[in-house]
Amino acid sequence: MILTGTIALCILAAYVGGALWLVVRLGLTLHQALLYLPLKLLYRIDDARMRRVRKAEAPVVYVVCHQARLDPALMLSLLPDDTLHILDEASARSHWLEPWRELARTIAFNAEHVFVSRRLVRVLKGKGRLAVYLPDDVEPGTKAFRLYRAVARIALRADAKVVPVFVAGARHLPFSLTPRRKARRRLFPKLTVSTLEPLTISDLMARNVTQPARASNALFDRLAETRLEATGPTRTLFLATLQAAFTNGARRIAVEDTGGEALDYRRLLIRTRLVGLKLAAITAPGEAVGIMLPNGSDLVLTLLGLSSSSRVAAMLDYSASPDAVTEAVRTALVRTVISSRAFAEKANLGDVVDAAEKGGTRFVWIEDLQARMSLADRIAAASFWWWPVHAQDAEKPAAIMFTPGSEGKPKTVVLSADNIMANAMQIAARISFGPGDKLLNVLPAYHAFGLTGGIALPLATGMRLFLYPSPLHYHIISEVADEIHPTILLGTDAVLAGYAQNAKPGAFSSLRFALVAAEPVRAETRREWREHFGMEIVEGYGLTEASPAVSVNTTTHGREGSAGRLLPAMKMRLAPVEGIAEGGRLLIQGPNLMLGYMSAEAPGTLQPLGEGWFDTGDVVSVDRDGFITVLDRASRFAHIGSDMVSLGTVEALAQKLWPEERHAAIAVAAVARGERIVLVTTSEDADCEEIRRSERLGKSSPLLPDEIVKVARMPLLGSGKIDYSAVRHLIDEQTGNEAAA
């Protein structure tokens, strides 16, 4: 009896001691600490940032992403005890929450409390504190977004600071509010309380340097930043995939391809270690290793193997000219290229292989690597599948991308794992993805969107990834989609237009949306997808140097014709451009911006990006809601007399008249007017007079092309975009003009 009592007293003393430690460490009251301690122990809560939250000067509004029934208990335990908590009706009535509701004042949530906000404004103006629980919707609908407007209005009127709070891991709790298809349930997931520094709504609105943002959008963006912050320190592709395996289950299917390969996370990581060890034996840490593989499981295994062994993936464009491939391997000092003998033969890449070898590289065939994997290797890999081959550092170079130079000289862009994974998580903080989704990726990995959006994003978020080797198999891809039932399709405007023209009506019926970047989406493509498939296209904007996404629309928060809103943790400003009244040259900052360039003049040497703003080279306009509209590349404005004319606008005029065809406008030097416009088109009916009559333009309008060149086939890049460099050469050949701009 004495022993039992002694043990009980020791346990009680330890419990009280732990509570007192929380009082000292976080500044909680003893009552709060006593109720919080068991939650902290059960869920191993990382609460290091809560001291800053508690010290926020009143008036303050704590905006909590409400993911699970546990959130009010956590916040009542951790926030200052003078905070007024506005609880949803279920939390206000829950019997189990009664002990925590005694820690602070609470009121039940309903529409009247939100929209009749005078009382809440008075509370805040009296140096009060509010805790508001907003639904954890990455893409809030119209009804949910009204809450953002109401909360922003309250905070703005009271000039209160806003502190966003996100509990990472809460969506995986057994009593999560997130549907099971979006988040696998775990009994005791580790929780991390993430938050950002207190800022007023006015401060948040003023961060849009172009023009002040709307209060509701500023608050929405702040919560998106918190959601991004909650993903934790940026990881390499290997570590992000490993984390996804632990979160979503190692037996969950991660990658599929047309060869019938279906790899769960465990098998994927076992084979990753095998590939990584073989690559580590023939290359050095930090070495640039070329990849020349089509979309498939071998591509993913090679990327993960290079990541695990801390090698740099040089993504070679096998659709490029032999000279471009030779220059690429020389610029990046690629000494080894991983490819498939079967692929090289089937795709007739003999000249590309010869060009790479001419640049000083050797080819290692994936078939030979796999043949050298012994039984002992496989057993060892199965025993240590969670262990990287080499120490990981997300800040070092991870990928080298070679821009095609569609409008000028190609560039060699160096990205870190930090850049790529930050960009993937930025997209995930804007668009709702999860284990219930299956992504069909047809874009090649040498395309930055194909690498980040088509491989890194699904691997890190638990989406099931299906890889198809070419975006140009228009008839086949719709049949594949009918068989595998994807929910998301990745593509470009050019390939989606091809699907609309070749697929049967009703195809792609399983899709939630198609996510498109790389070029503006034409109105005709949108119309065809709505009519044929009843499907919306979600458009984004980016560039390789930004890993590549910069902005994106969402299905609930978008504006047709725009490229969407800036991704979380990014900043932008516009530099004035002579001759353009509305809009300017887009300058950006963000964690997804590249490390720098490499050049042929200094092979293998990184030329760091440096501090300050990065000039995208694009001329854009930004509206009050933050939606970006890309007007054109700065290099694609023609000087016609005293006017600046967007060549993209000229193309759009032709597209309206002949929507089934492809059109490219080029500026050519002219003695009298500075430059003149040549329209290259696949339309046999294209006529300048028809454009003039249709748009009611004057005969001297600068938007009218001076010449029309008709071609049977428009030069395209492997991604489906127009190859403007090839178009210029075509014009030179047909007109003899060497001054095409």
CATH number at residue 306: 3.40.50.12780
* pLDDT value at residue 699: 64
Based on the fold, state whether residues 449 and 584 are members of the same structural domain: yes
- For residue 4, tell me if it sits in a domain: no
Q: pLDDT under 50 in the chain at which residues?
A: 115, 737-741
- For residue 741, tell me if it sits in a domain: no
- For residue 108, tell me if it sits in a domain: yes
Residue 360 · residue 329 · CB < 8 Å: yes
3 state DSSP class of 633: strand
Q: Is 66 a catalytic residue?
A: yes
**In angstroms, rounded to a whole number, what is the distance separating the alpha carbons of residues 570 and 199?**
17
Residue 500 · residue 532 · CB < 8 Å: yes
Strands 192-195, 199-200: pairing is unpaired
Exactly one of 66, 85, 172, 473 is catalytic; name it: 66
- For residue 5, tell me if it sits in a domain: no
Query: Which residue among 200, 229, 258 closes a domain?
Result: 229
Based on the fold, state whether residues 333 and 478 are members of the same structural domain: yes
Q: Which residues pair with 86 in a beta bridge?
A: 107, 132
- For residue 71, tell me if it sits in a domain: yes
**In angstroms, rounded to a whole number, what is the distance separating the alpha carbons of residues 651 and 330?**
36
Residue 702 CA to chain centroid, in angstroms? Answer: 38
* pLDDT value at residue 719: 61
* pLDDT value at residue 739: 42
Query: Which residue among 199, 229, 259 closes a domain?
Result: 229
Residue 178 · residue 171 · CB < 8 Å: yes
Based on the fold, state whether residues 211 and 244 are members of the same structural domain: no
Give me the domain span that covers residue 246: 237-631
Based on the fold, state whether residues 471 and 427 are members of the same structural domain: yes
Sequence letter at residue 337: V
Based on the fold, state whether residues 671 and 587 are members of the same structural domain: no
Tokens representing residue 1 in the block: 């009896």
Based on the fold, state whether residues 654 and 543 are members of the same structural domain: no
Residue 327 · residue 257 · CB < 8 Å: no
Residue 60 is inside which H or E element, if any? strand 60-66
Q: Please provide the DSSP assignment of 692-712 as one string.
A: HHHHT--TT-TTS-SEEEE-S
Based on the fold, state whether residues 190 and 276 are members of the same structural domain: no
- Cα angle for residues 183, 189, 195 (degrees, 5° grid): 85
- Cα angle for residues 398, 402, 408 (degrees, 5° grid): 145
**In angstroms, rounded to a whole number, what is the distance separating the alpha carbons of residues 314 and 414?**
9
Based on the fold, state whether residues 574 and 673 are members of the same structural domain: no
Contacts of 27-30 with C-beta under 8 Å, sequence gap 24+, read 27/51, 27/54, 27/55, 28/77, 28/78, 29/81, 29/103
Cis amide linkage into residue 59, ω under 30° from 0: yes
CATH number at residue 83: 3.40.1130
Q: What are phi and psi of 217, to 5 degrees?
A: -65, -40
Based on the fold, state whether residues 189 and 281 are members of the same structural domain: no
**What burial class does residue 617 get, using C-beta atoms within 10 Å of its C-beta: 0-12 exposed, 13-18 middle, 19+ buried?**
middle
- For residue 372, tell me if it sits in a domain: yes
Residue 123 is inside which H or E element, if any? helix 118-125
Based on the fold, state whether residues 492 and 582 are members of the same structural domain: yes
Residue 681 · residue 710 · CB < 8 Å: yes
Q: Which of 730, 713, 580 is nearest to 668 (CA)?
A: 730
In the block, which residue shows the tokens 């178009």?
Answer: 727
Based on the fold, state whether residues 276 and 366 are members of the same structural domain: yes
* pLDDT value at residue 741: 42
* pLDDT value at residue 605: 94
- For residue 11, tell me if it sits in a domain: no
Tokens representing residue 671 in the block: 């003695």
Predicted TM-score of the model (pTM): 0.90
Domain count, the chain: 3
Residue 733 is inside which H or E element, if any? helix 724-735
- Other Cβ atoms within 10 Å of 342 Cβ, number: 12
Based on the fold, state whether residues 531 and 676 are members of the same structural domain: no
**In angstroms, rounded to a whole number, what is the distance separating the alpha carbons of residues 734 and 470?**
31
In the block, which residue shows the tokens 């992403």?
Answer: 65
- C-alpha dist (Å) from residue 479 to 379, 435, 468, 486, 505: 39, 23, 12, 12, 12
State the Cα torsion 362-366-372-373 to the nearest 10°: 140
Query: Which residue among 196, 229, 262 closes a domain?
Result: 229
Which residues neighbour 715 within 8 Å (Cβ) at sequence distance 6 or greater?
722, 723, 726, 727, 730
